[in-house]
Structure 1
Amino acid sequence: MNIEEFVSEDNHMCNLGQNLFFRIFEPGAIYDLPDNEFNRKIFYWLSQYLVENLREPLDAISKLDIFDQFYVYETWLSLIKCPVEMKNISKRIIQYHIGLRTLL
């Protein structure tokens, strides 16, 4: 997928400034992903995390089969290069899955 598609208005990544985008994301990982409907949904869910709305995406992801859930989280973690963001999102995913949903 090209960067322009990744930062489209459809998935709300367009709200990121260029500096923030390059601080958080690994552009090479974006190019490696196929441009399809499921990946676009994954990007949308990730954009929701970036605006502090993680509960809804995690609820939706938890309804997927286990292989799709793994793909979503693997994709998120491959896209993020910033160690601080990597730590934060990992912590919040774990909190959700061990039942600490009220902290999100």
Structure 2
Amino acid sequence: MKLNEFINEENHLCNFSEEQIKEIFDLDEVKALDNNEFEKQRIFWLSQYMVGNVSEPFNEIKKLDPADQRRALETWIDLIKDVDTLKPLMKSILMEFIQGKSV
């Protein structure tokens, strides 16, 4: 996926500067993404999480079958290279999916 497809008006990543995008995300992983509707949906959910809307993307991911849930969350983990961003995300995933508690 091209960077301009990853950062666009259809998701909340357009709220981040180019410098922030380069700091937070692994751009090689972005390039490796297919440009299809399922990938765009996963990016949208991640963008929601990144701007502070935690419950809605997790609720949507929970509606998926377990294999697609895993793929969605693995995509998030693969895309984020910044440890300070990844650690709270992983804790949220653990709380929401492992312990079954709300974040």
TM-score interval, smaller chain: over 0.9
| Runs of 4 or more above 4 Å deviation | none
- Supply the distance in 2 between the matched residues of 1:58 and 1:25 (Cα, whole angstroms): 20
**TM-score normalized with structure 1 length:** 0.94
- Give the aligned residue type for 2:87: K
Q: How many equivalent residue pairs?
A: 102
Deviations 1:6-29 (A, max 9, x none): 001111211111121111000000
Equivalent position of 1:61 in the other structure? 61
- Name stretches of at least 5 consecutive residues in structure 2 with no aligned partner: none
> 1:99 offset after TM fit, Å?
2.4
- Name stretches of at least 5 consecutive residues in structure 1 with no aligned partner: none
- Supply the distance in 2 between the matched residues of 1:65 and 1:99 (Cα, whole angstroms): 16
The reply to whether residue 49 of structure 1 matches residue 24 of structure 2 is: no
**TM-score normalized with structure 2 length:** 0.95
- Give the aligned residue type for 1:9: E
Q: CA RMSD in A?
A: 0.8
For the 8 Å contact 1:24–1:85, the answer to whether it is kept is yes
For the 8 Å contact 1:29–1:79, the answer to whether it is kept is yes
